[in-house]
Amino acid sequence: MAHSFLLWLLKFICPDQHFKEITDVPLAELWESGIRIIFVDLDNTLTPWGSNKVSEPIKQWVEEAKARGFQIVIVSNAGFRKRVAQIADTLGIIGIASAGKPRRFAFYRYLKLKNLTPQQAVMIGDQIFTDILAAKRAGMKAILIEPLTERKFFSGRIQRPFELIAIKLLRYMKLLQ
Residues within the interface to Mg ion (CB under 5 A): 41, 43-44, 126
Query: Using CA atoms, how far apart are residues 177 and 170, in angstroms rounded to an integer?
Result: 8
Pairing of strands 37-40, 121-125: parallel
**Whole-number minimum distance, CB 3 to Mg ion, in Å?**
31
Q: Give whichever of 114 and 160 is closer to Mg ion, judged by the CB atom.
A: 160
Q: Give whichever of 35 and 74 is closer to Mg ion, judged by the CB atom.
A: 74
Residue number of the CB atom closest to Mg ion: 44
**Whole-number minimum distance, CB 116 to Mg ion, in Å?**
23
Query: Using CA atoms, how far apart are residues 58 and 93, in angstroms rounded to an integer?
Result: 13
Closest CA to 101 of 148, 39, 46, 52: 39
Query: Using CA atoms, how far apart are residues 177 and 165, in angstroms rounded to an integer?
Result: 15
* H or E element in which residue 94 lies: strand 94-96
**Whole-number minimum distance, CB 5 to Mg ion, in Å?**
29
Are the C-beta atoms of 36 and 115 separated by less than 8 Å?
no
**Whole-number minimum distance, CB 28 to Mg ion, in Å?**
25
**Whole-number minimum distance, CB 69 to Mg ion, in Å?**
26
Q: Give whichever of 126 and 163 is closer to Mg ion, judged by the CB atom.
A: 126
CA distance between the termini of the chain = 25
Sequence-ordered list of residues with C-beta below 8 angstroms from that of 48, at least 6 positions apart, any chain: 148, 149
Q: Give whichever of 104 and 151 is closer to Mg ion, judged by the CB atom.
A: 151
Q: Give whichever of 48 and 139 is closer to Mg ion, judged by the CB atom.
A: 48
